[in-house]
Chains A and B, each alone.
Chain A
Amino acid sequence: MQSTQDMQNLLFLVPLFPLVSSLILLLLHGRLAPIVVALLGVGSMALAAILTLLIGLEFFEQGSTAFQQVLFNWLPIAGASLDFALHLDQLSMVMMGVITGVGWMIHWYAAAYMFGDKDVQRFFVYMNLFIFAMLMLVLGDSLVLLYLGWEGVGLCSFLLIGFWQHDANNVLAAKKAFIVTRVGDTAMMLGLLILFSEFNSLHIATIVNSTVDVPQPTLWLACILLVGGAVGKSAQLPLQTWLPDAMAGPTPVSALIHAATMVTAGVYLIARMHPLFLQVEGILTIVAWIGALTLVMAGIAALAQTDIKRILAYSTMSQIGYMFLGLGALAFDGAIFHLMTHAFFKALLFLTAGSIILKMHHEQNIFKMGGLFRSLPLSSTFLLIGLLALVAFPGSSGFFSKEAILVATYQSHTAGPTLWWLGVLGAFLTSLYSFRLLFIVCFGSANHHLKEGDYSVSSQFVVPLLPLVILAVIGGFIQLNFTQVFGPSAHPHLPLWIEWLPVAVAAVGFVLAWILYFPRKAVETDERQTSALNRFCRDGLGFDWLYQQIFTKPLQFFARVNKSDIVDHFYHFVGWFNFSLNETLVVSQNGKLRWYLCGTLAGCALMLGGLLWLP
């Protein structure tokens, strides 16, 4: 067998390519021509993607047996030494494929998008480093290595959101993203502590295959803490607030990090640890509820947005809600399937949006676009294709994966019809906000002052989109096989209406969007006309305000009040007391003989009195 694993032995090269490229770009900062930067940044991704393909071919050819590659010993924890080791199985193979494949296309697009930027080299340092960290996250065979990737992608996300760092708003958004996800990370770290104290190991396979009998409450706590980490990274309730603001980053960043890869890390984490979740009563129901509530909440918020990227951000949140719903309904394979198709069509949507924004001279307000089908036919077509996949148009990639989740939800004992109805409601909302976006952006009269000559489509922007277009359309026919990770998948037979109702409500959403939003006359964008409810939804349903009151303000109050450290005041008091005592006693030393005499006599009297009084 050894000789036939040629490719798999090169597994370590997949994360190494982007890492090395990132380091080269960092060390030679400012000394490379932009074209060299682009070639290195995109070339390393191409190498990684091609190698992934070769590894994948060999992997599936050999029956998808899991493969382990130990690189070096990392943490000599007493009694539970940890290696820096990669683990390849069906799950990480698919993730690796999505990351390098979609990542390559986005890097390619980004090279064109960012070409004129003076900081393009710094941009690719972060982007390549991100890919490295993301690969560590999905390939790590221990929770600590996973955590390394987890924090690494968080760092890169922070750096890329705040990439245009001269603008204070971008800086603020970056900070918010990092700190909110860090709250989740802390929960995850606590989960790690519990798992380590129960299983005495942080090796994933050791934990999930362990026969140690752990009390249910402890295991429940560990799982809920892991979910805490997952909701932070994946922008689910209640830690979802950072994602819309994260759109401050360059658009390829939103496509790569905040749609296709990083935000789905929470889904990966739960799927990876699923044997643990299966052992705990009720935990998956919580996961399903988180997903269902998020997908409805985000759908409502998406309806009220006016910024094209924020619409897509809420849409991402909502689609990840579906993945969580799938996880909670035991459809782990369905959730990962949706993760993959979502990566295709959401990356396509973001990149297309990026093209449109660029053409509109960085205008992101959809009410200032309009009529783009005539002026930008190709981009508009791509947008349409992406949106159709998003609303799960029958036959498109999103259709198959969303069906798989909803069907499983209906009949799973951890989920059930109530959650299914929420999922259907989500499908309706998805359709409504998608077609609202399409109608306002692509139809009606143009609400901008660009001339025909301003539009030109560069092939650099189109070529990387073509594979994504194709995958968004036919990606649903890719047969994923997770039997070795998740066990045999169930093929339930349900009444026909359950399978088709989501499609029907999507059609209703289309009609409703047509009635409500199809531009018939010039659209009013007057701020005064937006209702309070509209503003409430647009601001993300009040979560930002709430967290501001509960966390940020008290912290800032404390910082303001206690800047000089109250403990120090005590020592100041001691110092002051001594100085005062000194000054008081100095008064008695005045050189007057009668004062001294009086003092001496008083002292004698006091002592004599004391002697007499005390026994």
Chain B
Amino acid sequence: MVALSFLIWLPLLCGALAWFTEKKVKGAGNWVTLASLIGILLFSLYLGGLSDLGATSTLSWDWFARFNIHFALLYDGLALLLVVMTLALAILAVAVSWRDIEQQRGFFHFNLMFSVAGIIGVFLAADLFLFFLFWEVMLLPMTALILIWGHENRRYAAIKFFIFTQASSLLMLVAIIALALQHQSQTGELSFNIAELQSLSLSSNLEFWLMLGFFIAFAVKLPMVPLHSWLPDAHTQAPTAGSVLLAGILLKTGAYGLIRIVLPLFPQATMDFAPIAVSLGVISIIYGALMAYSQTDFKRLVAYSSISHMGFVLLALFSWHEVALQGAILTIVAHGISSAALFSMAGMIQHRIHSRELGEMGGMWASAPKMATVTLIFVMAGIGMPGMANFNGELFTLLGSYQVFPVQTIIAALAIIGSAVYGLHLFQRTFQGPANTEVTDLHMREVVYTSLLVVALLYFGLQPHLVLDLSSDTLSTLLNIAKESRP
């Protein structure tokens, strides 16, 4: 279906349009970006719901015929879910930076939309070459966002982010080419199509190394300890909109890659590697929580808590248990919302007191009760309060993983304590205690979008069905693969 490709072109075009109009009329860029994002969001829902919500639709154009590379897109339930989430959080990113960005606002919007296009491309690509292309496309504008509109140490953070991602995606590129060549040697034709590559029979040694190439690329994005150290810097230095996109979506591309490529393409190697990957996931969970507690910078703290939460995704995916896989998807969605929400709060506070240091906050409940209440709700969601979305993800993950890796899961469950420790640390240092500073409370625009986030967290906490229904096809495919490859 041709319309599918519009999901990628439209953000690019609208981004250019926003840049152009911002040049002509000051302040118009915000409105153009917002309107176009809402339009694309509706369009993506329309595409997803054409026949049946989450039904698969595909598109395949010849591209480099000589190498059998196609411009191939696949839009199924899981992709729909993540595309909608991307667009929704992009809207949030626009909303939080409504007045924050002072210089080159048009170019800012162009970069924002450019990276949205790249991210959507990653979620839709059905061809590994195309996947790699989009993987790089989303990286560049994000680096620019950090580099141009970031905070005091932005150059360092942007370069670090760029090098980490580049180095790891190089490994992925090698693995992609090796896979295509392997396909050529087995069938006489190169192929980059994910579905076709699934039928390859690889020697276990080769399968392992190729799997590792992809795994490292995705693990850096996820991020997994010890490949995580770009994230606290990137998050802290990025403008609020950048942090929202980074935490909410960009990290999820790593998880998405694991679900779409690593598990289906290399089932045997994945299972052999699972104990190590799961252990690394557990290390991420615990180390992330400990490091979060150690921080005194609001954004750094949230950044480390993201590492902890994404460790759950790694644990869940490599357990490859039905319930755990459900948990992985739920965590992806829940963490996308809750971490984006916390980063927007960080942005609001920084906008008001020009600091992210917890030591300079304290007692802000007195002057900003609304802000305190929504932050409390976001923190509670983040530390797994039942009834909120994140709890479901953690519960499902733990329930499923325990049946495959009991010891690791028990250690992972200690994060329930850890998250409480850093969560309260964050909340109490900012809003409770003697009043250190006075801030203005949330105004109307902020109330609107924070309320929407609260509603989303509660909705997915009480009704996770939508998320699970949309991803059920993908998950059952994965489970079938698992059944075949388990001895």
Contacts and interface: CB of A to CB of B under 8 A. Distances in A.
Interface of A: 26, 29-30, 72-79, 84, 122, 144, 147-148, 151-152, 155, 158, 162, 165-168, 171, 174-175, 178-179, 182-183, 185-186, 189-190, 192-194, 196-197, 555, 558-560, 562-563, 565, 567-568, 570-571
B232 A75 contact: no
Contacts of A193: 398-399, 402, 409-410, 413
Nearest to B291: A565
B291 A562 contact: yes
Nearest to A171: B432
Given A75-B395, A78-B323, A190 B294 contact: no
A76 B464 contact: yes
Given A189-B398, A567-B225, A567-B228, A144 B386 contact: yes
Nearest to B292: A559
A165 B462 contact: no
B365 interface: yes
B27 interface: no
A196 B404 CA distance: 13
A29 B434 CA distance: 22
A560 B290 CA distance: 11
A567 B413 contact: no
30 contacts: A29-B373, A72-B462, A74-B463, A75-B392, A75-B464, A77-B323, A78-B322, A78-B323, A148-B386, A152-B385, A165-B363, A165-B365, A165-B431, A166-B366, A167-B434, A168-B434, A171-B428, A171-B433, A179-B420, A186-B416, A189-B413, A189-B416, A193-B402, A197-B402, A197-B403, A558-B290, A558-B294, A563-B296, A567-B228, A571-B229
B433 A166 contact: yes
Given A74-B462, A151-B385, A182-B416, A555 B293 contact: yes
A189 B401 CA distance: 13
Given A73-B465, A77-B396, A565 B229 contact: yes
A166 B395 contact: no
B254 to A, nearest CB: 18
A179 B424 CA distance: 9
A196 B413 CA distance: 15
A166 B363 contact: yes
B170 interface: no
Contacts of B57: none
Contacts of A29: 369-370, 373
Contacts of A190: 410, 413
Interface centre among A78, A158, A171, A182 (most CB of B within 10 A): A78
Interface in B392-418: 392, 395-396, 398-399, 402-403, 406, 409-410, 413-414, 416-417
Contacts of B122: none
Contacts of B232: 565
A197 B232 CA distance: 36
Contacts of B226: 567, 570
Contact of A30 (B290, B369, B386, B416): B369
A183 B160 CA distance: 37
A73 B434 CA distance: 44
Main secondary structure of the interface of B (DSSP, over half): helix
B352 to A, nearest CB: 19
A178 B387 contact: no
A75 B366 CA distance: 38
Nearest to B295: A563
B216 to A, nearest CB: 15
Contact of A78 (B326, B421, B431): B326
A560 B396 CA distance: 34
A159 to B, nearest CB: 8
B424 A155 contact: no
Interface in B426-459: 428, 431-435
Interface residues of B, number: 53
Contacts of A192: 399
A200 B363 CA distance: 46
A77 B323 CA distance: 6
Given A76-B465, A76-B468, 11 more contacts: A30-B369, A73-B465, A75-B392, A75-B396, A148-B386, A178-B424, A179-B421, A189-B413, A559-B290, A560-B294, A567-B228
A166 B228 contact: no
A407 B366 CA distance: 53
B113 interface: no
A553 to B, nearest CB: 14
Contacts of B406: 197
Given A75-B392, A186-B413, A189-B413, A178 B290 contact: no
Given A30-B369, A166-B363, A189-B398, A559 B420 contact: no
Main secondary structure of the interface of A (DSSP, over half): helix
Contacts of B409: 193
Given A182-B416, A190-B413, A196-B402, A77 B326 contact: yes
Given A166-B363, A171-B432, A179-B420, A567 B229 contact: yes
Contacts of B322: 78-79
Nearest to B380: A155
Given A151-B385, A175-B428, A144 B395 contact: yes
Nearest to A574: B163
B434 A166 contact: yes
Nearest to B410: A190
A152 B387 contact: yes
A189 to B, nearest CB: 6
B293 to A, nearest CB: 6
Query: Which 8 pairs show the lowest CB-CB distances between chains A and B?
Result: A559-B294, A148-B386, A568-B229, A165-B432, A193-B402, A78-B322, A186-B416, A182-B420
A74 B464 CA distance: 7
B365 to A, nearest CB: 6
Contacts of A189: 398, 413, 416
B433 A165 contact: yes
Interface in B199-245: 225-226, 228-229, 232
Given A79-B322, A563-B294, A183 B417 contact: yes
Nearest to A74: B462
A428 to B, nearest CB: 37
A77 B399 contact: yes
B54 to A, nearest CB: 15
A576 B455 CA distance: 47
Contacts of B417: 179, 182-183, 186
Contacts of A197: 399, 402-403, 406
A489 to B, nearest CB: 34
Contacts of B468: 76
B420 A168 contact: no
B383 to A, nearest CB: 9
Contacts of B464: 75-76
Nearest to A558: B290
Nearest to A80: B323
Contacts of A563: 294-296
B462 A84 contact: yes
B435 A166 contact: yes
Contacts of B291: 562, 565
Interface centre among B365, B366, B410, B433 (most CB of A within 10 A): B433
Given A162-B432, A189-B398, A193-B409, A175 B424 contact: yes
A447 B229 CA distance: 62
Nearest to A182: B420
Contacts of A144: 386, 395
Nearest to A162: B432
Contacts of A165: 363, 365, 431-433
Interface in B42-90: none
A39 B82 CA distance: 46
B462 to A, nearest CB: 7
Contacts of B366: 166
Given A78-B322, A563-B294, A178 B432 contact: no
A151 B383 CA distance: 11
Interface in B263-311: 290-291, 293-296
Contact of B386 (A76, A78, A152): A152
